[in-house]
Amino acid sequence: MFETLQAQKPDAILALVQMFKDDPRSDKIDLGVGVYKDASGNTPVMRAVKAAEQQLWENETSKSYVALTGDPGFSDAMVKLVLGDAVPRATVSAAATPGGTGAVRQAFELIKLARPDARVFVSNPTWPNHLSILEYLGMEMVPYRYFDNETRGVDFDAMLDDLKTAKAGDVVLLHGCCHNPTGANLTMPQWQEVIAVLQQTGAVPMIDIAYQGFGDGLEADAQATRAVAAALPECLIAASCSKNFGIYRERTGILMMIANGTEAKVAQGTLAFLNRQNFSFPPDHGARLVTMILNDDELRTDWMAEVEAMRVSMLGLREQLATELRQRAGSDRFGFIAQHRGMFSRLGTTPEMVQKLREDHGIYMVGDSRLNIAGLNANSVPLLAEAIVKAGV
Ligand code: LMR
* Residue 154: how many other CB atoms lie within 10 Å: 20
Is residue 191 annotated as a catalytic residue, yes or no? Answer: no
pLDDT score, position 261: 78
Q: How far is the CA of 286 from the centre of ligand 1 (A)?
A: 18
Tell me how far the alpha carbon of residue 324 lies from the centroid of ligand 1, in angstroms.
Answer: 27
Residue pair 329/337 in contact by the 8 Å Cβ criterion: no
| 63 Cα: distance to centroid of ligand 1 (angstroms) | 29
Question: Is 127 in the active site?
Answer: yes
Q: Are 354 and 392 in contact, with CB atoms under 8 Å apart?
A: no
Distance 257 CA to ligand 1 centre (A): 23
Look at residues 236, 266, 239 and name the one whose alpha carbon lies nearest to residue 252. Answer: 239
Which position among 77, 95, 166, 210 bears the catalytic label? Answer: 210
| Strand residues in the chain grouped as ranges (E) | 29-30, 92-97, 119-124, 140-145, 171-175, 204-209, 234-240, 253-259, 344-346, 363-364, 370-372
* Atom from ligand 1 closest to the CA of residue 32: 3
- Report the length, in residues, of the chain: 393
Q: Do domains 9-45+300-391 and 65-295 have the same CATH topology?
A: no
Separation between Cα atoms, residue 289 and residue 294, nearest integer Å = 9
Fold observed for domain 9-45+300-391: Aspartate Aminotransferase, domain 1 (3.90.1150)
Among left, alpha and beta (phi > 0; psi -120 to 50; other), residue 267 is alpha
Q: Residues lining ligand 1, CB < 6 A?
A: 13, 33-34, 127, 129, 180
Q: What is the rounded distance in angstroms from the CA atom of residue 159 to the CA atom of residue 326?
A: 30
Which residue in 243, 284, 356, 385 is the catalytic one? 243
Catalytic residue among 30, 48, 127, 338: 127
Q: Is 210 a catalytic residue?
A: yes
Q: Tell which one of 20, 43, 129, 175 to mutate to probe ligand 1, the residue whose CB is within 8 A of the most ligand atoms.
A: 129
Do the strands 253-259 and 344-346 form a parallel or antiparallel pair, or are they unpaired?
Answer: unpaired
Pick the atom of ligand 1 nearest to 100's CA.
5
Is the backbone of residue 173 left (phi > 0), alpha (psi -120 to 50) or beta?
A: beta
**Domain map (residue ranges) of the chain:** 9-45+300-391, 65-295
Per-residue pLDDT, 325: 96
- For the CA atoms of 270, 273, 275, 276, what is the dihedral angle to 10 degrees? 170
**CATH 3.40.640.10 assigned to 65-295:** yes
**Which DSSP state fits 213?**
T
Average pLDDT per 10 consecutive residues for the chain, totaling 393 residues? 94 92 94 93 96 98 97 98 97 97 98 97 97 98 97 97 97 98 98 98 98 98 98 97 98 96 86 98 98 98 98 98 96 96 96 95 95 96 95 88
Query: Atom 4, ligand 1: which residue's CA is nearest?
Result: 34
| 8 A C-beta contact, residue 381 and residue 321 | yes
Alpha-carbon gap, residue 116 to 356, rounded angstroms: 43
Considering only CA atoms, which of 145, 148, 139 is closest in space to residue 118? 139
Question: Atom 2, ligand 1: which residue's CA is nearest?
Answer: 34
Q: What sign does the dihedral 188-153-122-376 (CA atoms) show?
A: negative
